[in-house]
A = this chain, B = another copy of it.
Amino acid sequence: MSNKGNAIIAQSGGPTAVINSSACGVIREAMKSGRIGQVIGATNGILGVLKEDLFDMSAEKPETIEALKRTPAAAMGSCRYKLKSLEESKADFERVLDVFKAHEIRYFFYAGGNDSMDTADKVNKLAADAGYELTCMGIPKTVDNDLAYTDHCPGYPSVAKYVATCAMEAGRDTEALYTADTCTILEVMGRNAGWIAAATGLAARSPEDAPHLVYMPEAPFSFNKFVGDVQEVLKRLGRVFIVAGEGLKDEKGNYVTADSRAFSKDSFGHVQLGGVADMLKAVIEKEVKIKTRSNKLGTNQRSAMHFASLTDVNEAYMCGQMAVKYALDGVNDKMVTLVREKGPKYKCTTGLAKLSDVANGEKKVPREFINDAGNHITDAMRDYVRPLVQGEAPITIGEDGLPVFMRFKRKPLEKKLSKYM
């Protein structure tokens, strides 16, 4: 047992290209501080804590830790296991505290979104009530970019750079073959916020560039207006390239689905395949009568390490590093935020937000980032996203011509408690 106390780091929710960079920042800063005992990884986020499935970071080679910065997804493992209120998930919260006590955990670094910040906040409160000294620090992570109190979220700049490039490239494909494949729809992630869709707008440097139309959940979607938009671009350019956020909603706030219109009679009660792009493709082929293709990048967009933003990798690392520094300075119950300094040149530093505030906040694409017609972005959005996608993150290429990613050795910590789940 060390007098310094140990630290647990865990990763939660949907992976990103840079959540491992944040982990790298935490691990290195914690190890070099000399003020933290053991640095411990939790396998699969809070599930690893509950199951006491922990591993010793000091057993990992320095080059493995370094390679975190060039490895996408969540190298420690992630989960979507949700702890609810302290009352509803009482046993879980108490188990977390029991595991922390058993391994003398005094620092909990949790990288994730709203729910993870909520969990960290509640663990912190429970520890305080129990008189157990614990520091809980959150590290922002989400490709969706919907966390409040931070200028942007690590993970978002990389997906922004990648999807904008994909729109540009597939846009050139449509431009080349418009005589046959006249329309293409690119579906991107973002169930409630349109940040990812909005980022693709940066690719449209001139009116002939893709994407010609960008639909975000924040702008109410109307099928009639959509068909009109497509016809207008078609008339002007002879082709149409569309980006659609997966979570488009109508004016009543309901998700736009295949049942919303095009197939209301045919498909009622039947299994519907495909996402929003497939559905819009069917609408266009029926109403505008042009051949349409649909691309759905899916999880490839959030794991695209091969074209990640170097700015993102560096900022994600900084968030992890600063979480440790703040914690050792006595800060507690906070998430590290990214602060865009004022001035003509982009500069990003860190700040702090209360975990509970972040847990209950949400950041959508503001109205002034979306054009009046609700089908593209404004210069304000371009100015917001442009600095974030600067630089190409280095990757390691193997002899086989493909990227090389790390995996942890995962030397397990001896379990000290009985089996929980």
Q: Are B77 and A176 in touch, CB under 8 angstroms?
A: yes
Taken residue by residue from 63 to 106, chain A's Cβ proximity to chain B (1 for < 8 Å, 0 otherwise) reads as 00000000111110111110000000000000000000000000
A250 to chain B, nearest CB (A): 19
| A41 and B218 alpha carbons, distance in the complex (Å) | 44
- Whether A417 sits at the interface, judged by CB under 8 Å, is no
Q: Are B80 and A177 in touch, CB under 8 angstroms?
A: yes
List chain B residues, Cβ under 8 A from A74: 176-177
Neighbour of A172 across the interface among B73, B258, B266, CB < 8 A: B73
A15-B176, A397-B392 in contact; A169/B305 too (CB < 8 A)?
Answer: yes
List chain B residues, Cβ under 8 A from A263: 270-271
Interface residue ranges of A274-319 to B (CB < 8 Å): 274-275, 278-279, 281-282, 293-300, 302-307, 309
List chain B residues, Cβ under 8 A from A249: none
Q: Which of A81, A273, A392 has the most CB of B within 10 A?
A: A273
Neighbour of A169 across the interface among B180, B304, B386, CB < 8 A: B304
Q: How many copies does the complex hold?
A: 2
List chain B residues, Cβ under 8 A from A73: 169, 172-173, 175-177
- Whether A14 sits at the interface, judged by CB under 8 Å, is yes
Taken residue by residue from 158 to 192, chain A's Cβ proximity to chain B (1 for < 8 Å, 0 otherwise) reads as 00010011101110111111011100101000000
Interface CB pairs A-B, < 8 A, 21? A11-B176, A15-B177, A73-B177, A77-B176, A161-B402, A166-B300, A168-B402, A169-B300, A170-B299, A170-B300, A170-B303, A172-B405, A174-B299, A266-B270, A266-B271, A273-B279, A273-B281, A295-B298, A295-B300, A388-B401, A390-B401
A residues near B (Cβ < 8 Å) are 11, 14-15, 44, 47, 71-75, 77-81, 161, 164-166, 168-170, 172-177, 179-181, 184, 186, 202-203, 205, 258, 262-263, 266-267, 269-275, 278-279, 281-282, 293-300, 302-307, 309, 382, 386, 388-392, 397-398, 400-403, 405
